[in-house]
Amino acid sequence: MKIGFVGAGKVGVSLGKYFKLHKKDVIGYYSKNPDSAREAAKFTDTDYFSTLYDILNSCDALFLTVPDKDIGRVWESLKDFEIKNKIFCHCSGALSSAVFQKGDREVLGYSIHPMYAFNDKYTSYKELSNAYFTIEGNKKYLDFFKCFFESMGNPVKIISEDNKSKYHASCVYVSNLVIALVNMGADLLIESGFKKEEAIDALMPLFMNNANNIAERGLIDSLTGPIERNDITTVMKHLNVLSNEAKDIYKLLSLGLIDIAEEKYENTDYGNIKKILKEE
C-alpha cells in the first residue's frame, strides 16, 4: 500500500518516519505550507508534492494529519477528485470516520488514533513503538490496518463510531486533565511557601513513581494514601484547607478512589468516609 500524508506537523512527520523505519511504502507529503512538506519529505526520505491532486494520484491511502478543524476542509478539497478505491485516514481522537462522506457513495474512510502525546516533530517517532492504536471505519480494510500496526509491534483495538467520543474522553482524562491536577497540586505547594519551579520539581518524582507503579502493578496495587487507609482525620484536614472548587474536585476523585479501595480491601467498611465526602 502506497501511503501519502497531507499535513506535515508533529503527527504526520512522526508517523511517516515510523512507517519508513518499519519498511512501509511511504510516498511523501503535501502541505499548505510547502516548506514544511519539503522538510518532512527530506526527513523521511520521501517525495514532496505540490498539489493535492498529485499526491492523491500517487497513493493508495492518504493520511490527513492536519488539525481536527481542518480535516473537513481538506476532505472537501479531495472528494471531488476520482477517489474510487482510494483509502482516507485521519488521526483525530475526537472525530470519527463519518467525516469522510460523499453523498450515498461508499468511502473507504478510517479514523486511526495513536494513544500517544506527540511533543516533537523529529523525535516522537522514537517512542511510537509503545503506543496503542485504535481504529474505526469502513469494514473493508479494518483487518488490514489492524495487521498493519500489529506488524510494527503496536497493540491495536478496533472500536465503533458510536463509542468514539467516550474513547476520546478517556484519553483526555489520562493526559490533559492530569496536567490540571498537577497544576492544582503545585498551587497548593506555592501557597505553602514553594516557588513555582520548586513545586513542579518536588512533585515530579511522586508523579512519575505513581505512573510507573500503575503501569507495572496495576491500579489496585498502586493505591496508597488516606482513602486507602480509611483515614477520616486526614481527609477532614484536607477538606478544611481547600477552596470550594478544589474541595469539590477532591471529593469527587476521592469517591472514585473509594471504589478502588473497596475492591482492594473487601472487608473494610468505607461507609463513614464516603458519607463525609458526600456531605461535607
* pLDDT tens, position by position, 157-174: 999 999 999 999 999 999
Which residue did the predictor score with more confidence, 58 or 103?
58
Place of cell 498493519: 148
Q: What is the pLDDT of residue 103?
A: 80
106 pLDDT higher than 90: no
Domain contains 63? yes
**pLDDT tens sequence across 205-216:** 999 999 999 999
Kindly state whether residues 151 and 232 are assigned to the same domain. Answer: no
Kindly state whether residues 150 and 178 are assigned to the same domain. Answer: no
Kindly state whether residues 45 and 120 are assigned to the same domain. Answer: yes
**pLDDT tens sequence across 253-263:** 999 999 999 99
Nearby residues of 182 by Cβ (< 8 Å), 6 or more positions away: 200, 203, 207
Kindly state whether residues 193 and 250 are assigned to the same domain. Answer: yes
Kindly state whether residues 138 and 228 are assigned to the same domain. Answer: no
Kindly state whether residues 20 and 118 are assigned to the same domain. Answer: yes
Of 96, 115, 110, residue with least CA distance to 154: 115
Q: What is the pLDDT of residue 206?
A: 96
Domain contains 169? no
Mean pLDDT of the chain: 95
Q: What is the pLDDT of residue 104?
A: 79
The pTM is what? 0.87
Kindly state whether residues 212 and 140 are assigned to the same domain. Answer: no
**The amino acid at 255:** L
The half-sphere exposure of 147 on its side-chain side, counting CA atoms within 13 A, is 5
Percent of the chain's residues with pLDDT above 70: 100
CA–chain centroid gap for 2, Å, is 26
**pLDDT tens sequence across 221-260:** 999 999 999 999 999 999 999 998 999 999 999 999 999 9
Domain contains 35? yes
Range of the domain at 48: 3-160
18 pLDDT higher than 70: yes
CATH of the domain at 47: 3.40.50.720
Tally of domains within the chain: 2
Q: How confident is the model at residue 102 (pLDDT cuts 50, 70, 90)?
A: confident
280 pLDDT higher than 70: no
Kindly state whether residues 15 and 134 are assigned to the same domain. Answer: yes
Domain contains 165? no
* DSSP class of 33: S
Domain termination residue (choose one: 113, 132, 160): 160
Q: Per the structure block, which three cell numbers stand in for 231?
A: 483515614
Q: Per the structure block, which three cell numbers stand in for 146?
A: 489492524
What is the distance between the alpha carbons of residues 62 and 73, in angstroms, rounded to a whole number?
15
Residues in the chain, how many? Answer: 280
